[in-house]
Amino acid sequence: MAGGEAGRAPLAHLNDIRSERREQPPDGRSRVFRPRGRVRCCSQLLSFDRFYEAISSACNQSPDISPSKPVRPQLVNELPMVNIPLMPEFLSPPLSRDDVAPFILRAFAEDLPDITSEAIFDPAQRGRARFIAKAEGVFCGLILAETTFALLDATSSFRPVISDGDPVKPRDVIAEVEASVIALLSGERTALNFVQRASGIATATRRYVDAVAGTRAKIYDTRKTVPGLRLLDKFAVRCGGGENHRFGLHDMFLVKNNHIDAAGSITAALERIRAKRMTQQIMVEVRDLGELDEALSQAPDFILLDNMSIETMAEAVRRTGGRIPLEASGGVTLQTIRAIAETGVERISLGSLTHSVTGLDISMRVE
């Protein structure tokens, strides 16, 4: 125990991530920036803070996130007419340092201190590194790499060579960073973990977007994201040319088969939802043409066609006649997506974009 505590002693000088008070040593040398203690939990994530702030302001109360109660907006019965920001607005403008810093600090808490680099190199020693693509794909995550080194070394400089969403091929230089050697080596794996995952999602998304080019269908993600990384996963989908579905359970009603079965029917479920007089849009999932006809009679904002055959989807499109946007979901692959899009559906959602990620091969070479 004593040895472990001693090994973590160098972490003690790092203040809260949101503080800009990064004092420089009197000799002008760079100082490696390391986390002190543990990062606070989800309440620190700005993605959720923004929702809670909007809700709390409307309700004139603080959200209750005590351990004994579910973490959710406390407005369902008290204030039914609250508008919660939807995902397209939420990811515009692009992510900032403040958006991604909590994720990176959490990674630092797992990883640092880097006893190897600190034992070998002097804090004053400077270095330069390049991020280089080793495979063909779509890059995403400049702000993640930049912020990683800015947190470790306030004097670091980061120069992107390409932009998020740009295609890359092997040996392409993505970005250059200059910082203390300790910061470069300590942050290498954290930065690569984030950008490889984000770029893998963006690359997969672009393949599906390209596969439906020329049809009316757009590609959407789902909530099948890594817990705690939804903001980053959905941002990567946007970089790949895709669209975002719900950010969370709170920003759209999605009536799925379990809701329908428990409520007794689509009609019963929608009657209860509409009685709440809330402003979020409504999507209904249907499993067959009978449920489609019932959903059409209730005129929701969207209808999701769950695991239907190509022939059944085409009939659903014919019956709907453009009155309500249709979304296809379930069993979608690169081999089937073109045929699905050609049925005339407006939306196709894929959980595989974020739950089965193959990271894009990217390296960081220190000079």
Instruction: Supply the residues annotated as catalytic.
Output: 189, 224, 256, 285, 306
Q: Single out the residue of 362, 332, 361, 334 nearest to residue 345, CA to CA.
A: 332
Q: Is 71 helix (H, G, I), strand (E, B) or coil?
A: coil
Cα dihedral sign, 322-323-324-328 = negative
Tokens of 367: 């000079």
What DSSP character marks residue 83? P
Longest CA–CA span in the chain (Å) reads 76
CB 93 within 8 A of CB 257: no
Instruction: Collect contacts of 287-296 with beta carbons under 8 A, ≥24 apart.
Output: 287/257, 288/312, 289/315, 289/316, 289/319, 291/260, 291/266, 292/316, 292/319, 292/320, 293/319, 294/265, 294/266, 294/267, 295/266, 295/324, 296/320, 296/323, 296/324
| Residues 6 or more apart in contact with residue 143 via CB below 8 angstroms | 94, 95, 96, 97, 99, 100, 164
Interhelix angle 46-59/97-111, rounded to 10 degrees, is 130
CB 353 within 8 A of CB 205: yes
What DSSP character marks residue 32? B
Sheet holding 218-220, edge to edge: 218-220, 347-349, 326-329, 302-306, 282-286, 253-255
